[in-house]
Amino acid sequence: MLSRLSGKEHSVFTGVAIVHCSSNDRQLHTRVSEFYEETTVKFSELSEELLWEYIHSGEPMDKAGGYGIQALGGMLVESVHGDFLNVVGFPLNHFCKQLVELYYPPRPEDLRQPVQHDSIPAVDTFEHLSDVEGGGSEPAQRETGSRDEKAEAGAAGRATAEAECHRTGATLPPFPTRLLELLDGFKLSKALLTACKLKVFDWLKDEAPQKAPDIASKVDASVCGTEKLLDVCAAMGLLEKTEQGYSNTETANLYLASDSEYSLHGFMLQNNDVIWNLFTYLEFAIREGRNQHHRVLGKKVEDLFQDAYYRSPETQLWFMQAMHGVAKLTARQVATAFDLSRFSSACDVGGCTGALARELAREYPGLQVTVFDLPDVVELAAHFQPAGPQAAQIHFAAGDFFRDPLPSAELYVLCRILHNWSDDKVHKLLSKVAESCQPGAGLLLVETLLDEEKREAQGGLIQSLNMLVQTEGRERSRGEYQCLLELHGFHQVQVVHLEGVLDAMLATRVAP
Ligand SMILES: C[S@@+](CC[C@H](N)C(=O)[O-])C[C@H]1O[C@@H](n2cnc3c(N)ncnc32)[C@H](O)[C@@H]1O
């Protein structure tokens, strides 16, 4: 295929992709070859500037005319020989090689010694593709700075690197962009948490755009510091920055302002003031295989909730607000994951503020729900209850689920409870639930289920680390939960994967 770049004609696409399909879909074979034989890509209207912006953006071009090989669709393809990107739509590797040659041709002295200009590895298989994504590649990666700066910096960097390569005879490895982005991740997280703590998004909610000095005086902070924080928030897509000043994006209005219906502000504070501190001791958590509250607090923690999360009214409120915010976003899915209409009473064990109870009551008007939680929690829970038609269906009962009898119910709910506890305590709690149940009663369990091969998505893995650093428990797999449930007389286990990292399991108590 020929393409025209800034008026010069170049044979850009040299790669030929051969796709072996595990299906005998002739149409698929035909479409692949049609694309490569018939398509001509023209770039005549693209300026050099635009091309560089594209290269540095790291964004794949649209897949028009090509194939997306991803998710379940990947099953159709057995292997790819040649450039993977050729197959999915745009031969990015070859394109970038050609651009480097076009705009940064090797100097005559370089030609004496072969220099590997492109550090974008050719992709032969899916396995190699994931290496490329993980390891990053130069130059097709995201960078900051103006286009001119980028081009200059790129050229200068390449010249120095190549000179060094010539001197040592070594080949330069790809620039580890992805690694450095990962490293910067914690700084971005802390910027988000700090903006929430300073209530930046509250001051900007439903207001006209404001300049940095206005916000600085409202949040009682320096102008130079506030401006930097606001700029980072804008770069993260949480604020919009215009000539008139900064304003909230929809995301900030919805989730970060503290008085929004679906606010995660409490969750942010809990992350900033509790979880962040625990994660500074991650190394100890890994070495010791246990949570780190004792290090953060400088004292022994006998009871995870009373001594750590609920050690003061303030930390208890943060915890409850955090649970409430997340529960409000997930409760509808939990309540509707299964048809629970056969039950007339439910007990949400460790139900905290009653956010899930409210959704259960809304979904099942014939259901009476008791929220069972520690006395201090029940006392504060009233603050989270909006008046509404569901109020009459919801009751609160105070107690300790390891010591006190549980309210009787046809359906027991354990949402994000078992993962906090060791196997011993899980057995203790499940046997109490089982004792309280009649045959036919239900147990609705909501947790993050780990994949048996421990290859889950990043969310599940982070959650596992989170449990290690914060709790006495761990995330478990479906098989592990099923064994636990069956051991306590709960069978006919059904599982539904919810959006995000949660899964719901419904089991039925059988006669002992
Ligand atoms: C991780 S939160 C989950 C809250 C709620 N189920 C949800 O998903 O949002 C754990 C809950 O268990 C409660 N809890 C912890 N220990 C308890 C105990 N010994 N007896 C009763 N409730 C307890 C906490 O107060 C808290 O509300």
One-letter-per-residue 3-state SS of 459-481: HHHHHHHHHHHHCCCCCEEHHHH
Residue 106 has a pLDDT of: 60
* Residue given tokens 């001197």 in the structure block: 167
Residue 72 has a pLDDT of: 42
Residue 193 has a pLDDT of: 98
More confident residue, 81 or 449: 449
Burial of 284-298, coded b for 16+ CB within 10 Å and e otherwise, reads bbeeeeebbbebbee
Using a 6 Å CB cutoff, which residues line ligand 1? 305, 323, 327, 350-352, 373-374, 377, 400-402, 415-417, 420
Segment 7-21 shows an average pLDDT of 35
Flag whether pLDDT at 497 surpasses 70: yes
> Confidence band (pLDDT; 50, 70, 90) for 100?
low
Residue 419 Cα: closest atom of ligand 1: 1
Q: Which of 117, 419, 488, 497 is catalytic?
A: 419
- Tell me if residue 419 is catalytic: yes
- Give the start-to-end residue ranges of the domains of the chain: 2-175, 181-263, 314-509
Flag whether pLDDT at 264 surpasses 70: yes
Flag whether pLDDT at 59 surpasses 50: no
The contacts of residue 203 (CB under 8 Å, 6+ apart) are: 210, 215, 218, 219
Residue 327 Cα: closest atom of ligand 1: 9
* Arch. (CATH architecture) of 181-263: Orthogonal Bundle (1.10)
Residue 129 has a pLDDT of: 32
The dihedral over CA atoms of 404, 407, 413, 418, expressed in degrees to the nearest 10, equals 10
Question: How confident is the model over 336-346, as pLDDT tens digits?
Answer: 999 999 999 99
Segment 409-438 shows an average pLDDT of 97
Q: How far is the CA of 64 from the centre of ligand 1 (A)?
A: 50
Ligand 1, atom 3, lies closest to the CA of 416
Flag whether pLDDT at 109 surpasses 70: no
* Domain 314-509 part of CATH 3.40.50.150: yes
Question: How confident is the model over 473-483, as pLDDT tens digits?
Answer: 999 999 999 99
Segment 292-314 shows an average pLDDT of 96
Helices 48-57 and 147-168 pack at an angle, to 10 degrees, of 70
Helices 92-103 and 48-57 pack at an angle, to 10 degrees, of 130
Flag whether pLDDT at 375 surpasses 80: yes
Ligand 1, atom 20, lies closest to the CA of 400
Complex confidence, ipTM: 0.99
Flag whether pLDDT at 486 surpasses 90: yes
List the structure tokens of 199: 């209530």
The dihedral over CA atoms of 184, 185, 191, 195, expressed in degrees to the nearest 10, equals 160
